[in-house]
A and B are shown apart, each in its own frame.
Chain A
Amino acid sequence: DQQVKQNSPSLSVQEGRISILNCDYTNSMFDYFLWYKKYPAEGPTFLISISSIKDKNEDGRFTVFLNKSAKHLSLHIVPSQPGDSAVYFCAASEGTDKLIFGTGTRLQVFP
């Protein structure tokens, strides 16, 4: 049973435009959500997180939105840059640092 889902396996965006990556979850007890970026043959690197008491968190070009009623979160990258091309994972936790990851979305930013 996949508790965290990323239904789009890939996304292609032109440089300078907005990238929107989506994530859905089923466990209403999740209270902390994270986004990671991963290059091939490397470990994931933490990008941004959001607590369930908030609905938006912003860090530079990255903004995460949380819609608890819909059990949905999204990562917005504005403006997108070629260096953003990677696989993005969302993850969720329930009061601990044990994370449940989604299946990932491969983002390609083209010139």
Chain B
Amino acid sequence: SQTIHQWPATLVQPVGSPLSLECTVEGTSNPNLYWYRQAAGRGLQLLFYSVGIGQISSEVPQNLSASRPQDRQFILSSKKLLLSDSGFYLCAWGGYTFGSGTRLTVV
């Protein structure tokens, strides 16, 4: 069965600091991978998706970037965090399997 590992579970970072969230998938090959964000009081917003190594599509302009260095690894990054980057970040495989999420608070 497919599983998604996402870490860390919670993160508190100061404004202007860098960010790296990692997501790895097990039990499947060549998966389509997604990063979503749930901001306070809002729905799940698609940020990035990737259909393969090195292939990244961005859905919304923002302060974040994504990379897919390996088939089963998807990384969300920022060089300088903003307060508005706070939220709950979710990695997903296909349309059915989500990671447990990372709660990011930028202070």
Partners in one complex: yes
Taking Cβ atoms with an 8 Å cutoff, the residues of A that contact B are 6, 32, 34, 41-46, 89, 91, 93, 96-104
* Set A97, A98, A101: member contacting B44, Cβ < 8 A: A101
Which label, helix, strand, loop or mixed, suits the secondary structure of the A interface?
A: loop
Residues of B within 8 A of A (CB): 4, 6, 9, 32, 34, 36, 42-46, 49, 88, 90, 92, 94-101, 103
Contact check, B88 vs A97: say whether CB atoms are below 8 A apart: no
The listed residue (B36, B45, B95, B98) touching A97 by CB distance below 8 A is B95
20 contacts between A and B (CB under 8 A): A6-B43, A32-B95, A41-B101, A42-B100, A42-B101, A43-B4, A43-B6, A43-B99, A46-B96, A46-B97, A91-B44, A91-B95, A93-B95, A96-B32, A97-B95, A99-B92, A101-B43, A103-B42, A103-B43, A104-B44
